[in-house]
Amino acid sequence: MSEKAVEAQPGAGVELSREEIFAAHLGGKLSVETRLPLLSKRDLSIAYTPGVAEVSRAIAEEPGLVDSYTWTKRLVVVVSDGTAVLGLGDVGPRASLPVMEGKSALFKTFGGLDSIPLVLDTTDVDEIIETLVRLRPSFGAVNLEDISAPRCFELEARLIEALDCPVMHDDQHGTAVVVLAALLNAAQVVQREIAGLKVVISGVGAAGVAVAKILLAAGVQDLVLVDSRGIIHHGREDLTAVKTDLAGQSNPQGLTGGLAEALRGADVFVGVSSAQVPEAEIALMSDDAIVFALSNPTPEIHPEIAAKHCRVVATGRSDFPNQINNVLAFPGIFKGALDAAALRITEPMKLAAA
């Protein structure tokens, strides 16, 4: 394997060799460790047979004891079908597994929660739901990950109804929470109230829809959404049901056209698509503009270029300043939900997290 240094993105300050990257992932990033010593026959008799039978009998008689005497209550399954992985797209379940392992490692490190990746070799919503319903006794919460839109909306909504435990599609709501948190802070930097900001969101997939909804709930009044075909507005006949609903809640000025028309005079740009944004279009924004170029691994515009025209610039990457990434939110959201024995992660919980 070549040792040639590769940059995560042109212009980035961090260089990583392929050898270093693959060596770190060799054998996977996860392992299971026992919390009990197994150093003697007595240890074995307590941890396994015959002692464990006493615990199984007790749970059979009183099922609620499973929360106290197994790891279920603190176990999050990270579920993906590999159809929308990072900025790579549909790479399939096997290729998505390194990302899901990483997600589980983040749950443990930043939330103190045990987590296992569960990649499914199906894209059928009914089959995914049936699989998780049947596996429900084994886990305490579900983190949906890297599932393409629009299936992800239906899948999450139906799973919330089907399971009696917290379910959250992190690409939607984890992203939304950290974007709102970042915007609240950026607004303080530019000494503005978010209700008075004109916000443009580029990308109306899973993340874009959730970001739009949480910003509207938080009080943003002038919101414009742009997908690959242009500005979302009532006159378009190619809108999905989700986009049609958002058309009724956004674009109060009735703008049409593309991203350039949306960005003219805008205060905030939120990029949650892989589409690159020319410098000339960012230059159309207002004074003291805010740019969140969150596509990974390649931001919609390089932060050094955006900084020439904007007051606050952030990306989704850890090697640039002002990282806006789900890792800042999802471990705590799930930890809070499980600590509170919540059956659902609600909209007020997401706003409170932000």
In contact, 129 and 155? CB cutoff 8 Å: yes
Name the strands in the sheet holding 268-271, side by side, starting at the edge strand that comes first in the sequence. 230-231, 222-227, 198-202, 268-271, 290-293, 312-315
Identify the active-site residue in 29, 41, 48, 69: 48
Identify the active-site residue in 73, 103, 335, 350: 103
φ, ψ of residue 74 to 5 degrees: the values are -110, 15
To which H or E segment does residue 333 belong?
Answer: helix 330-339
Is 308 an annotated catalytic residue? no
In the chain, beta strands by DSSP E = 5-7, 15-17, 75-80, 114-119, 141-144, 167-169, 198-202, 222-227, 230-231, 268-271, 290-293, 312-315
- Helix 170-189 and helix 206-218: axis angle, to 10°? 50
- Percentages helix, strand, coil for the chain, rounded to the nearest 5? 45, 15, 40
Report how many helices (DSSP H) and strands (DSSP E) the chain contains, helices first: 15, 12
Is 350 an annotated catalytic residue? no
Which residues belong to the active site?
48, 103
